[in-house]
Amino acid sequence: MRKLLVATLAIAATAAVPAATASGASNPSGTGQPNQSCGSATAVQQPAGFGTGGFAHAETVYAGSEGTPSAANGNSHAVSQYDVACYQVTQSGH
């Protein structure tokens, strides 16, 4: 039982380190909107699956996408969390 507990804690600690590193990427603007997008020159890497057909379709229907009602009528400060993800992936080098 004790060996199982030690093994479980070791696995959990190993898994927590990369998760903390990935979630620790800062906002490029400090506070507020990230002012980054996945298509920008500063986003040299993209999250897994970003170039798939499913993601391309999502861009046509999700809030704030060009040509959608939310882009025409929505808040100009709204930003996709994918933009933040692209920035964080670029910063972490993964």
How far is the C-alpha of 48 from the C-alpha of 78, rounded, in Å? 23
- Report how many domains make up the chain: 1
pLDDT of residue 84: 67
Range of the domain at 44: 2-92
The CA distances from residue 35 to 9, 15, 70, 75, 94, in Å, are 39, 30, 19, 15, 20
79 CB neighbour count, 10 Å cutoff? 16
pTM tops 0.75: no
Q: Is 2 left (phi over 0), alpha (psi -120 to 50) or beta?
A: alpha
The per-residue pLDDT for range 6-32, each reduced to its tens digit, is: 667 667 667 655 555 555 556 666 665
